[in-house]
Amino acid sequence: MENLIKEIGWIGTGVMGKSICKHLLKAGYSLSVFNRTKSKTDDLISSGAKYATPREIAQTCDAVFLMLGYPHDLEDVIFNKDAIINYLKPGSYLIDHTTSSPKLAEKIYQECKTKGIFSLDAPVSGGDVGAKEGKLVIMTGGDKEAFDKATPIFSKYGTTIKLMGGPGKGQHTKMVNQIAIVNNMQGVVEALIYGYKAGLDLEKVIETIGGGAAASFSLNVLGPRMLKRNFDPGFYVEHFIKDLEIALEEARRMNLCLPGLALVKQFYQSLAANGGGKMGTQGLLLVLEKLNNVDLSKKLQ
């Protein structure tokens, strides 16, 4: 199927969005960008992107991508002040990479359908590393026709690209992803603290067990960052808490008991309450260190 999407608009050039936009520019797409902090688009503008308001993007682009922080940001851009849904061209595409609620994804889909606009909820996974390397996982909900048209674009920055079902199914899949990550992160942190108290060389531990069944992004990529006390965000703690709250709400709606999810969400809430909201998710180490009165950066006495 011929891909007629040529003019792309991108709203939200944060940690991951900016890297994705660079891949699109490199692929030759005409790109218009918007971010509330305009300076965060400067290097994209210098690379050939155009700066435009959300309204201008909606009026001129064949496909509008959103990658925002919170569901309320999404609702604000799409439905509220100078809402883009009132300016999107019939036959255009609204593709949401924000991790948001399945219910909101369904609402966006239905509103777009009444206006002849194709809508996809397409949250991603892979963090800052995946975005920079163009190796994101893109889990998508919506109609197959729209998915097929968007896939050539997705392929510029994603390697695993799946249609998971109808509207909202992309967001449900992302909740599965976050539930798996949060419990894995807890396990990695506990394992490193155990290894520390056992007097092991933790760099060697990660190198060794990271080649076996314990391998994971949290261990192999974020584990070394923890040891270096590098808590810079590949994904913000405050955004992760938002995701976990959505997952817990969906779990309650489905009458599910997910104790690991609930517990570790509280640990992240503690980290944010102590000033760690802008840290990367590997900052969980600090919470468990405090609980155990250890500091992995100090030599064991």
CATH code assigned at 243: 1.10.1040.10
* Residue 261 and residue 131 share a domain: no
The pLDDT of residue 2: 44
Q: How many angstroms separate the CA atoms of 3 and 12, rounded?
A: 24
Q: How many angstroms separate the CA atoms of 233 and 222, rounded?
A: 10
* Residue 159 and residue 38 share a domain: yes
Per the domain annotation, does 264 fall within a domain?
yes
* Residue 151 and residue 202 share a domain: no
Q: Tokens standing for 204? A: 């060697």
Q: Which domain holds residue 263?
A: 173-292
The pLDDT of residue 80: 86
Residue 237, classified by CB atoms within 10 Å of its CB into exposed (0-12), middle (13-18) or buried (19+), is: buried
With a CB cutoff of 8 Å and minimum separation 6, the contacts of 231 are 225, 276, 279, 280, 282, 283, 286
* Residue 44 and residue 144 share a domain: yes
Per the domain annotation, does 184 fall within a domain?
yes
The fraction of the chain above a pLDDT of 70, given in percent, is: 99
Per the domain annotation, does 301 fall within a domain?
no
* Residue 218 and residue 243 share a domain: yes
* Residue 186 and residue 95 share a domain: no
Q: Tokens standing for 94? A: 């609204």
**End of a domain among 119, 134, 165?**
165
Question: Could you please report the per-residue DSSP string of 102-160?
Answer: HHHHHHHHHHHHHTT-EEEE--EESHHHHHHHT-EEEEEES-HHHHHHHHHHHTTTEEE
CB–CB of 112/94 below 8 Å? yes
Residue 281's SS3 state is: helix
* Residue 220 and residue 155 share a domain: no
> What's the pTM?
0.93
Give which of 224, 237, 256, 246 is closest to 177, Cα–Cα: 246
* Residue 192 and residue 147 share a domain: no
CATH number, domain with residue 73: 3.40.50.720
**End of a domain among 137, 165, 193?**
165
pLDDT classification of 289: cutoffs 50, 70, 90: very high
The pLDDT of residue 5: 87
Per the domain annotation, does 141 fall within a domain?
yes
Residue 1 has pLDDT above 60, yes or no: no
Total of domains in the chain? 2
* Residue 22 and residue 145 share a domain: yes
Q: Tokens standing for 74? A: 């999404």
* Residue 260 and residue 124 share a domain: no
Q: Tokens standing for 223? A: 């584990």
Read off the pLDDT of residues 216-234 as tens digits, 9 standing for 90 and up.
999 999 999 999 999 999 8
The pLDDT of residue 281: 97
Residue 155 has pLDDT above 60, yes or no: yes
Residue 3 has pLDDT above 60, yes or no: no
Which amino acids are annotated catalytic? Answer: 174
The pLDDT of residue 82: 82
Per the domain annotation, does 234 fall within a domain?
yes
* Residue 132 and residue 59 share a domain: yes
Residue the block writes with tokens 């030759």:
28
**End of a domain among 138, 165, 192?**
165
Q: Tokens standing for 196? A: 């520390």
| 3-class SS shares of the chain: helix, strand, coil, % to 5 | 55, 15, 30
Residue 268 has pLDDT above 60, yes or no: yes
C-alpha of 100 from chain center:
10
Q: How many angstroms separate the CA atoms of 168 and 184, rounded?
A: 25
CB–CB of 137/126 below 8 Å? yes
Q: How many angstroms separate the CA atoms of 248 and 128, rounded?
A: 25
pLDDT classification of 156: cutoffs 50, 70, 90: very high
Per the domain annotation, does 1 fall within a domain?
no
Per the domain annotation, does 277 fall within a domain?
yes
Per the domain annotation, does 31 fall within a domain?
yes
Q: How many angstroms separate the CA atoms of 109 and 167, rounded?
A: 6
Read off the pLDDT of residues 171-212 as tens digits, 9 standing for 90 and up.
999 999 999 999 999 999 999 999 999 999 999 999 999 999
* Residue 282 and residue 178 share a domain: yes
Averaged confidence pLDDT in the chain: 96
The pLDDT of residue 300: 83
Q: Tokens standing for 240? A: 């992760």
**Element of type H or E holding 7:** strand 7-11
Residue 129 has pLDDT above 70, yes or no: yes
